[in-house]
Amino acid sequence: MTAPRDKFGRPIVVVTGMGIVTSLGAGKTDNWNRLTAGESGIKTVTRFPIDGMKTTMAGAVDFVTVEPFSSTSLSERLAVIATEEALEQSGVGTRGDFPGPMFLAVAPVETEWPQRLEVARSVEKRDFGIIDYLAACGNGQFTHYHRRFTFGSVALHLADTFGTKGSPISLSTACASGATAIQLGVEAIRRGEADAALCIATDGSVNPEAMVRFSLLSALSTQNDPPQGASKPFSKNRDGFVMAEGAGALVLESYDAAMARGARILGVVAGCGELTDSFHRTRSSPDGKPAIGCVRKTLADAGMEPGQIDHINAHGTSTPENDKMEYLATSAVFGDHTPNIPVSSNKSAVGHTISAAGAVEAIYSLLTLEHQRIPPTINYEVPDPAIPFDVVGNKARDARVTAVMSNSFGFGGQNASLILTREPA
Amino acid sequence: MAEPKEVWITGIGLLSSLGEGLDAHWEALGAKRVNVDETKLAPYVIHPIAPISFDAQIPKKGDQRQMETWQRIGTYAAGLALDSAGVKGNQDVLSRMDMIIAAGGGERDLKVDLAIMNADAQGNSQPGFLNEKLMNELRPTLFLAQLSNLLAGNIAIVHGVCGTSRTFMGEEASSIDAARIAVARIGAGQSDIALVGAAHNGDRGDLLMLYQFGNFSLKGQYAPVWARKDSPGFALGSVGAFLVMESREHAEARGAKPYAKLTKVVADLAKRKQPGAVTKSLEAMWPQLGVSDDDGVLITGATGAEPATSEERAFLGEHPGLAVRANGTTFGHTVEAQFPLGLALAALSISRGALYPANDPTGFEVEKTGAPTQIVVTGVGHWQGEGMALVEAVK
């Protein structure tokens, strides 16, 4: 039997299940309806005191609660919700027995403030130092915090719950993490190691320290009022990104495995690419070369020409620098075709889901292909003349979409792109 | 599927509590030297990084200032590995080199943390106190010195490793998977050359917190790994261990010599709630390496934490022909760096045509004469994740 292959002779990788949670809601239906209606999930933070903060809004997922709260527990819970939806749709394997590996994009884990302070209150000595504190850590009352705050804890729990095979991989490539998780799954299927892969990306990082840290890097928007107006990619008055939470899960399968079990194919991951930027720890190379190289590598991986891309789901963070660089890189690759490509940024509505963004936006891209409708970039009131993209501003646009490029460009020089198509090329 | 391509280890970078570079490590291992500190964070035993100026591999002071110690250790060791592979400064190779780093998080500002915790414990924290302290006292760049993926970011900036960059997390398992994915990608032709490694700084009170929650730290007096039965635990160690891996064709085309080849890496996630799960997991992985029991060599990353170490030892007990070396005895436990350290020591031993002497008063580790041609490396996480690799001489 000759398995269906792409033009490079590799197994074709398809998506058979998707699940999503963002500040707009849980599930594909709610997300799609609200996203295309131009709604925003950004609100003033109520989870913790915001006194003294420069940025006071976020796309927090407040309708999901975990007790006791920690960002790590919330990330895990969001991942479970998204994965259950994806598995339900895909129907691959059986409950608790997923027939392949797991790749998990997750924020770096640390013991968090509520837990730090809880331990501190159990130290008997006044003006304690680290050694006194460590003794309290080890007094036997806090063993569960080891289980919670090891970096591998989220993957361990998800692997246990969903019965994925082998050693689950937790990864961080900053804002590109979600795309990297998908890329690892694609590569495993192309190598013939697996017929199915579970790619999950999650982030529940809206906590005081994370907000302060991004704020100290001057990365966040401070246009707090109204909160839903803060994220305005490609606008002249954009001033930073808005932190957000969410999760996306995708079931990837080889085309032949999916066909053999009669699965419904939701789309194809036609190409992936990544290229590192070594210019600066937080800033992109001003010439856009690494992003240009990343987009070109992705086209080459898919065996496609720039003219075949008919929509770009942009990284579009709403930071002054990213959006400008993204236009520069895009126009360098797509040339005269650039004005013909409708561009949109989902971050205008859901905020920047950081570790989850690559997967969340891949799912929105696949929904765009399914519905032949491009979700709007909201808050697009003052277009930046330096970014003459065909921005799908404020209102969803019906369009013929056969191939979407989804970009992720992150801190630490992490660039990754995906090309998603409706049918195998 | 086509036969996988042979993966060569053509570069090794080591910086640790013993010093820097392969000669220094070979000499120290031969002399059974251990650098351990029982006082600085007493009662917790640690292996601090050897005194070092980072200038040789991180020439710009500005770059050094942007990093915390774990990143300096890693960036330095990565530079050593690139030097050792003969690709340092080679833009053609570096611009398409894939990088897979295993990382935890970086150093916190303990002073700030302790001030907040003390104030809170004494009831002196008003609403907004935490925000105010964090806003005013955290160094803006500290975040970048902490973020897991910024070790890779620094290696890209300082050394120009710019093909791809992926950071895996998850304690010990993260570096087993880093090696496994690199070998799989090179074997399948998805990558030609990769930099794989990790860095760990053991001199960190903030990091001890996590392990103290589970009571995993070695306290009081140092003892070799196999002699910790009555007071189990691990002493955090300090290591930067990096390897340049490439396909045989790629290495030959540029005239690079191999230290060894990395034939196979396998990994598992045993269900440890069941006693004996680690032993079973290792037994299940062993046949996948296709090595003979007799007269073999095995370098283990055994931590000294229980029950993982006893369960690994039960597996080793079933293979009495193996000459075992626990790198935890010499280097302490370096978590993400433990597996690449094992791979580095295996490749080094093969290239030197000898196995370094045992350093084990219990007699579990036995001497081995003659040149090893196959060395198995194991990694068993203190809490989760198991793996195994086979390093072999290139014929």
Kindly tell me if the per-residue pLDDT of B221 is higher than 70: yes
**Tell me: the pLDDT tens digits for A284-342?**
888 899 999 999 999 999 999 999 999 999 999 999 999 999 999 999 999 999 999 99
**pLDDT band with cut points at 50, 70 and 90 for residue B293:** confident
Q: Which of B118, B132, B217 sits opposite A127 (nearest CB)?
A: B118
Average pLDDT of the residues in B376-392: 98
Amino acid B1: pLDDT? 57
Q: Under an 8 A CB cutoff, do B215 and A172 touch?
A: no
Average pLDDT of the residues in A40-68: 97
pTM listed for this prediction:
0.98
CA distance B69 to B205: 13
Q: Quote the mean pLDDT of chain A.
A: 96
Q: Under an 8 A CB cutoff, do A147 and B153 touch?
A: no
CA distance A388 to B67: 38
CA distance B394 to B263: 10
The residue from A175, A199, A272, A294 that is catalytic is: A175
For residue B204, give the chain A residue with the closest CA.
A130
What SS3 class is residue B213? helix
- Kindly list the residues from chain A whose CB atom is less than 8 angstroms away from the CB atom of residue B117: 116-117, 119-120, 128, 133
**pLDDT band with cut points at 50, 70 and 90 for residue A3:** low
Amino acid B386: pLDDT? 98
Task: Quickly list DSSP for A194-238.
Answer: -SEEEEEEEE---SHHHHHHHHHTT-B----SSGGGS--TTBTT-
**Tell me: the pLDDT tens digits for A93-141?**
999 999 999 999 999 999 999 999 999 999 999 999 999 999 999 999 9
Enumerate the β-bridge partners of residue A406.
Answer: A313, A418
- Kindly list the residues from chain B whose CB atom is less than 8 angstroms away from the CB atom of residue A274: 164-165
Question: Residue A337 catalytic?
Answer: no
Q: Which of A146, A172, A413 sits opposite B213 (nearest CB)?
A: A146
Sign of CA dihedral A278, A282, A283, A284: positive
Q: Under an 8 A CB cutoff, do A167 and B268 touch?
A: yes
Amino acid A1: pLDDT? 42
CA distance A64 to A397: 31
ipTM above 0.95, yes or no: yes
Yes or no: say if B83 and B22 are a contact pair by the CB < 8 Å rule.
no
Question: Residue A352 catalytic?
Answer: yes
Question: Residue A311 catalytic?
Answer: no
**Tell me: the pLDDT tens digits for A68-79?**
999 999 999 999
CA distance B59 to A405: 39
Average pLDDT of the residues in A384-404: 98
Amino acid B114: pLDDT? 97
Residue type, position B266, single letter: V
Sign of CA dihedral B181, B182, B188, B191: positive
Average pLDDT of the residues in A353-381: 98
**Tell me: the pLDDT tens digits for A235-250?**
999 999 999 999 999 9
Yes or no: say if B242 and B13 are a contact pair by the CB < 8 Å rule.
yes
φ, ψ at B175 (rounded to 5°): -85, -25
φ, ψ at B142 (rounded to 5°): -60, -35
Alpha-carbon separation of residue B67 from A174, B108, B122, B156, B305 (angstroms): 17, 12, 33, 13, 30
Average pLDDT of the residues in A76-84: 98
Is B311 near chain A, with CB under 8 Å? no
The residue from A272, A294, A311, A315 that is catalytic is: A315
- Burial annotation B74-104 (CB, 10 A radius, 16+ → b, else e): bbbbbbbbbbbbbbbeeeebbebbbbbbbbb
CB-CB neighbours of B215 under 10 Å? 18
Is B153 near chain A, with CB under 8 Å? yes
- Determine what percent of chain A is predicted with pLDDT higher than 70: 99
CA dihedral defined by B322, B325, B326, B330, rounded to 10 degrees? 170
Amino acid A383: pLDDT? 98
Token output for B130: 């935490």
Distance of CA B53 to the CA centre of its chain: 21
Measured between CA atoms, how close is B384 to chain A, in angstroms? 8
Q: Quote the mean pLDDT of chain B.
A: 97
**Tell me: the pLDDT tens digits for B171-205?**
999 999 999 999 999 999 999 999 999 999 999 99
Amino acid A42: pLDDT? 98
